[in-house]
Every structure is written in structure tokens, then in C-alpha cells.
Amino acid sequence: MITIEQLETYSQQNPQEVLIVKARDNQEEIEIMIFKGFSSNLSGATEFDPDLPMLSSTAEILTIDRLVSPYNPINPNYIQGNLTPSEFLNLSQK
């Protein structure tokens, strides 16, 4: 299992990438963008306090997309899309 914190660390170490994470939290689908160690909720409000968790402890990360930075929502440049958490973990540990 992978956590948002692990993804934020990865994004700090790889600032040339933007991560788009799809997750399920409390039966709700959530989309999160992670860039340079910071997360932003694309599906709703982002908490002002960065110490508050983006997802609850029961949330499930479904897929992770790797994109080239800077992110352009009109014309996104995908490196890899729809990675499972385990696929992403294998890739990030190389």
C-alpha cells in the first residue's frame, strides 16, 4: 500500500513530474494533484493547514498518473497513466 506522504516525497525528489492520484475516501471518488511535495484536492476544497491529512487513514489510492511538469490541463503530457499503487511502488524503488 502506498500513502500520500510517500507520493509527496517522490514528487519532491522528481520535480520534473506532476502526479495525479485517484482515490476513494468515505465512498467518494477524489482526484489529487501532487507537485514538488505539495498536494491539492482537484475534486473539492483543499485544507489550508498542510499538516492535516489529504486522505483519511481508510482511504484507498486507486491509480496514479505521472505527467511532465509544468502541468497543462488542456494538453497534459503523460509519462505513464493509470498505474496501480503497486506498479508505482515498483517503479519508484528503482
Domain extent, residue 68, equals 4-92
| 5-58 per-position pLDDT tens digit | 999 999 999 999 999 999 999 999 999 999 999 999 898 877 767 677 778 888
Q: What is the pTM assigned to this prediction?
A: 0.91
Work out how many domains the chain is built from and give that number: 1
CA distances from 41 to 19, 36, 92 (A): 12, 15, 22
SS3 5: helix
Helix axes 85-92, 4-13, angle to 10 degrees: 40
CA distances from 63 to 3, 7, 49, 51, 82 (A): 12, 12, 25, 24, 5
